[in-house]
A and B are shown apart, each in its own frame.
Chain A
Amino acid sequence: MSWHNTPIALMAKALAAKEVSSTELTQYFLGRIDAGKQWNAYLDVNAHLSLEQANKADQLLSSGKAGKLTGIPVAHKDVFVTRGWKSTAASKILAGYQSPFDATVVANLGIPDENNPHGAGMVCLGKTNMDEFAMGSSNENSAFGPVLNPWNSAHVAGGSSGGSAAAVAAGLAPIATGTDTGGSIRQPAAFCGLTGIKPSYGRVSRYGMIAYASSLDQAGPMGKTAEDCALLLSAMSSHDPRDSTSLADSGEDYGRYLNQNWKEGNTNPAKPLEGLRVGLPKEFFAEGLASDVAKSVNDAANLLQSLGATLVEVSLPKTKLSIPVYYVLAPAEASSNLSRFDGVRYGYRANEYRDLGDMYAKSRTEGFGSEVKRRIMIGTYVLCHGYYDAYYLQAQKIRRIIAADFQAVFNQCDVILGPVAPDVAWRLGEKSKDPVQMYLEDIYTLSTNLAGLPAMSVPCGFNANNLPIGMQLIGNYFSEARLLQVAHQYQQSCDWHLRQASEVA
């Protein structure tokens, strides 16, 4: 049985029917991880710990105490602190770090015990590679080397959740967690042919998620299908009193609309999306978008239309400005968050220094990579006395305009459709010399983080070189279940999401 091609929705059925055990599944994926090291998708794997969890999951399954996801393996982005595995955020400054506690996401998905009675019973396969502290769009900023794209190993996997994307695309995990501060779930999902969702800000607890930009960071699932993402997101999200921005009403079944028609009372099976208004922002199809990406996204719009949806042109006039706004606000928050790395309580400490101040500076200088240092310096600058109003406050004011523009558009449509990124996965090294060129690649994903809206990446085609293309669906606040419904209905009518990465055996 080729379990790496099996959506977790079917894996759950096989586990419940005792056709396979969690231990067998875990061994299967550990074997593939061992044979698939060339992608550099994982930073830490511990077969003993994984199999120990699988054994506990099998006990839950045989004693009738299993939940929907019990026994299914999952890979965690290395930004989530995880007991037993190293937690480094792909930074030298945290190399070897052992967390004394689990992130809420890890606990919510993990094996239940007396301290964690509601754990979903999934088995951790290990920690996936990423851009250092989630700062990057290509996974080339990892202190432990770039991730390669399973569709073509000369190309990047995308970032910052590139390891999670490559792990699922290469069949080294059936599903994975990611985080998205400016597109870090959606863009690598698009580059690797996966489905991923960044939920509304506040849906998933940030407790134990190593912080980058706290008002933008949000975790979500990356998998093969919208149905799989709905299953994982339902288990990930919860109200968490340990995160002051966690929403009180976060626990819900995000898969509840999957197999329903959009409009209540519509019984026409050929037109499941009748009544759905899909907005196409003209700024998302303007200059800079590769023509093959534009064609695939337009084909997807036409498919949605054939399923009953209506297409409307809309406008998000501040789309281009989301880049400077994001690259002020995210570094500002990062410069504050990363001040905790001082070489005193945990993490890397320089070997030689004169005094305490020198120890801070040398530890940070040797421990952080160049993109992280660049963003810390940008953030420090925009928060300086004299620049604060012109940069930081101005960015926060434009952020309000961007959020309001979305609300105006949601008066005209139910979901927004556009590309995830201007182009497919680029070649390794192609953009790493020029930070601004890399930042411009985030144009279609940043605004949803600034507004706090949910957004998805859904595979919708391939370019001439057989590299995956992703479309983005953006919904209004707390409409994740509706976004997943649209994506699921789309996936019933095409097979882009089921294609196997070309370099994967």
Chain B
Amino acid sequence: MKLDDVQRIAHLSRLELNQAEAEAVLPQLQAIFSLVEEMQAVDTTGLEPLAHPILFLRDLAQPMRVDQVTESDSRAENMQSAPAQQDGYFLVPKVIE
């Protein structure tokens, strides 16, 4: 991993790092990935990835529910923590000029 990679990942993560921060985080990420490299020594040929622990025991059907209205209008409560709003809508900077 190089400094360019750190900036590229930061951008993909929608995080900003200045040069000094990127230089500070690089050796930390390098140390973590040298730990992660230990995985490469394991032969996993023919093994299925395990995404979820209960799948190790049994197949899980996606639970389905009846398609019916279960909630009443709670717009005011749902929007009480919005950083900016107007007329019941979330406000964001102008996207289309």
Contact = CB atoms under 8 A, between A and B. Distances in A.
Contact of B16 (A355, A361, A391, A436): A361
Contacts of B17: 365
Interface SS of chain B = loop
B51 A396 contact: yes
A378 B50 contact: no
A137 to B, nearest CB: 14
Contacts of A97: 81
Nearest to B71: A101
B49 A397 contact: yes
A461 B29 CA distance: 37
A377 B29 contact: yes
B69 interface: no
Contacts of A376: 13, 15
A240 B97 CA distance: 45
Interface stretch (A282-290, A342-350, A466-474): A342-350
A384 B14 contact: no
Contacts of A318: 42
Given A344-B90, A403-B50, A450-B53, A356 B63 contact: no
A399 interface: yes
Nearest to A451: B53
Contacts of B48: 397, 400
Nearest to A244: B63
B40 interface: yes
Contact of A241 (B35, B40, B65): B65
Contacts of B78: 100
Given A321-B38, A394-B42, A215 B52 contact: yes
A409 B80 CA distance: 51
Interface stretch (A124-132, A230-238, A251-259, A324-332): A324-332
- 4 smallest beta-carbon distances between A and B, as pairs: A452-B53, A396-B49, A349-B83, A397-B44
6 contacts: A100-B74, A201-B52, A201-B54, A345-B81, A355-B93, A439-B35
Interface of A: 96-98, 100, 201-202, 215, 241, 244-245, 247, 318, 320-321, 323-325, 327-328, 335, 339, 342-349, 353, 355-357, 359-362, 364-365, 368, 373-374, 376-378, 380-382, 384, 390-391, 393-401, 403-404, 434-436, 439, 450-453, 477
Interface of B: 1, 5-6, 9-10, 12-17, 25, 28-29, 31-32, 35-40, 42, 44, 47-54, 56-57, 60, 62-63, 65, 74, 77-78, 80-84, 90, 92-95
